[in-house]
Amino acid sequence: MATFATLSFLARKSLASKMSTTKMIGALALAISLNTSIAFGSSSAATPLKPAAVASLDQWLSQQEVISAQKLMANVSPSDAAPGVVVASPERNHPNYYFHWVRDAALTMDTVFELYVHAQGDEAQVYLDRLIDFARFSRQNQMTPTKSGMGEPKFNYDGSAFNGDWCRPQNDGPALRAVVLTRLANYLLDNGQEEFVRAELYDSAIPTNTVIKADLEFTSHHWTAKNCDIWEEVYGDHFYTRMAQKRSLIEGAKLAARLGDGGAAQWYRSQANALDAEIAKHWDSSKQVFVPHLGWSGGLDYKHSGLDAQTILAILHTGLMPFSDARVQSTLKALTESFRALYPINKVAGIPGVGIGRYPEDKYDGMGFQGGNPWVLITAAFANGHYRAALELINEGHVDKARAHFHEGDELMKRIQYHAYANGSLSEQMDRHTGYMTAARDLTWSHSEVLQANWSRKKLLKALKLSVVH
């Protein structure tokens, strides 16, 4: 796979070496405005699908990965939106999710980055172009006057400020955006694009003109500020937000050092270290779980269980703790059992796995507040957590334990398969009584999380094969 990435990049580079970066990007933009179709390298999307529940998980996933990539890309820079926008869903009414959410967008573009490094030729160019549009759009977001400044959670799809009431600021956004753009910057640096990186992604200037530096400056100076959590409901200090902040500062420090911004590198690292003590406070030794919120300062006040899937998402999205860590496992288990007991659909015999929701007290049904449901993206993230744990255990030589996690991960993915639309559409939620897909349709983040889980599963399948040979 690494060879693919290098080759495809070199193919682009030979084209690029004849042009300046700006011209190169201009040429890519032209290719896209000419409506370059995106080939996903498979015709299976066109063939009729077996009912999802009948196909094996492997069959379903091999179709779903093509469909999810297409559905995800359809929500990135849709034609009526500003270039670089990632709409949370194509749905504009029930509910209106046709906005650029900073968190959803950053996580989605991380998936687009993966697609990019594994693609070739024209297809790779489309992904690169979207990534660069996203970087530029994000810089525009930073400079747009909004109600809460850098932590503004969402923007209108034309790029203008969203000025309605909202739970703001949400400070995970700048951190997540910095993480994905730092990955992009490192990749471009590895491939000789330093001029572009310094001009548009990371300069060493204060005040800065670049998107990553602005996010790192904000995060390093404001991580102690209370803000609204990823579910847009609680004010305080949040495990997810702090983990994202820490990851961004660690990666940011490395990038700063790489680009000769030594003082900044030291500062970012010192703030990343300072976050450790705060993150550690989220471990509740009596409950044996990581708790989502500390220092509650407003918003919902009925989350008494201390259970919240955002803790697992935090570990998945930051990689800051191994999934085989006993604390992570105990949190994962407590959440899984709680949702198994809570949702009627999880008690119906004969359906594999468990549908996982945000937190047990949740009331948000995607439109109103008639009661929480299992979510596709969270169920996929939990599956991914099991796959990651399995990969770690294989590295440590514990193949049997790894198999158990592989099985648990697959059960969760089969649960999504069972409730998925036959055409591969995935909404935000699965109705807790009927299992039908409900809430925002084709949620970009649902597709993104299913793709990520599938990629971990593929790595795991390979690792398991190798472990048998040894």
Site string for ligand NOJ, 79-118 (x = CB under 6 A): ---------x--------x---x-xx--------------
Q: Which member of 127, 267, 339, 445 binds ligand NOJ (CB under 6 A)?
A: 445
Nearer to ligand NOJ, 97 or 418 (CB): 97
Shortest Cβ 94–ligand NOJ spacing (Å): 13
Residue 465: how many CA atoms within 13 Å on its side-chain side? 6
Nearer to ligand NOJ, 251 or 365 (CB): 365
Six token digits for residue 195: 């001029």
- Residue pair 120/105 in contact by the 8 Å Cβ criterion: no
| Four-point Cα dihedral 375, 381, 386, 391, nearest 10 | 160
- Residue pair 442/373 in contact by the 8 Å Cβ criterion: no
- Residue pair 70/456 in contact by the 8 Å Cβ criterion: no
For the segment 351-370, give every residue that binds ligand NOJ (CB under 6 A).
364
One-letter amino acid of 458? K
Using CA atoms, how far apart are residues 435 and 419, in angstroms rounded to an integer? 6
Strands 289-290 vs 293-299: parallel, antiparallel or unpaired: unpaired
Site string for ligand NOJ, 143-182 (x = CB under 6 A): ------------------------x---------------
Helix boundaries (H) for 259-325 = 262-280, 310-318
Examine residue 450 and tell whether it contacts ligand NOJ (CB under 6 A): no
Q: Which of 229, 233, 237, 362 is catalytic?
A: 229
- Residue pair 297/214 in contact by the 8 Å Cβ criterion: no
Interface region with ligand NOJ, contact rule CB under 6 A, candidates 193-201, 229-237, 275-283, 410-418: 229-237
Interface region with ligand NOJ, contact rule CB under 6 A, candidates 173-181, 226-234, 239-247, 458-466: 226-234
Shortest Cβ 360–ligand NOJ spacing (Å): 14
Query: Residues touching ligand NOJ: how many (CB under 6 A)?
Result: 12
The total of other beta-carbon atoms located within 10 Å of residue 26's CB is 12
Strand, helix or coil for residue 429: strand
Six token digits for residue 226: 């209370």
Shortest Cβ 215–ligand NOJ spacing (Å): 17
Interface region with ligand NOJ, contact rule CB under 6 A, candidates 28-36, 216-224, 227-235, 311-319: 227-235
Nearer to ligand NOJ, 52 or 356 (CB): 356
Distance of CA 358 to the CA centre of its chain: 15
Nearer to ligand NOJ, 239 or 445 (CB): 445
- Give every CB contact of residue 458 below 8 A, 6+ residues apart in sequence: none
Using CA atoms, how far apart are residues 351 and 230, in angstroms rounded to an integer? 30
- Residue pair 157/98 in contact by the 8 Å Cβ criterion: yes
One-letter amino acid of 403? R
Site string for ligand NOJ, 51-70 (x = CB under 6 A): --------------------
Examine residue 317 and tell whether it contacts ligand NOJ (CB under 6 A): no
Nearer to ligand NOJ, 231 or 406 (CB): 231
* Phi, psi (degrees; rounded to nearest 5) at 76: -100, 120
Six token digits for residue 143: 């400079």
Nearer to ligand NOJ, 103 or 388 (CB): 103
Interface region with ligand NOJ, contact rule CB under 6 A, candidates 19-27, 48-56, 228-236, 430-438: 228-236
Nearer to ligand NOJ, 432 or 457 (CB): 432
Strand, helix or coil for residue 56: coil
* Gap between the terminal Cα atoms of the chain: 22
Shortest Cβ 302–ligand NOJ spacing (Å): 12
Q: Which member of 231, 267, 343, 418 binds ligand NOJ (CB under 6 A)?
A: 231
Nearer to ligand NOJ, 84 or 372 (CB): 372
Using CA atoms, how far apart are residues 193 and 254, in angstroms rounded to an integer? 17
442 in active site? no
229 in active site? yes
Q: Which member of 114, 122, 194, 232 binds ligand NOJ (CB under 6 A)?
A: 232
Nearer to ligand NOJ, 357 or 385 (CB): 357
- Judged by phi (left if over 0) then psi (alpha if -120 to 50, else beta), residue 442 lies in left
The total of other beta-carbon atoms located within 10 Å of residue 339's CB is 26
Q: Which member of 233, 251, 408, 442 binds ligand NOJ (CB under 6 A)?
A: 233
Long-range contacts of 26-31 (CB under 8 A, 24+ apart): 28/125, 28/126, 28/128, 28/129, 28/132, 29/83, 29/129, 31/122, 31/125, 31/126, 31/129
Q: Which residue number is nearest to ligand NOJ in terms of Cβ?
A: 364
Shortest Cβ 365–ligand NOJ spacing (Å): 9
Q: Which of 114, 122, 194, 232 is catalytic?
A: 232
Task: Give the footprint of ligand NOJ on this chain (CB under 6 A).
Answer: 88, 97, 101, 103-104, 167, 230-233, 364, 445
Annotated catalytic residues are 229, 232
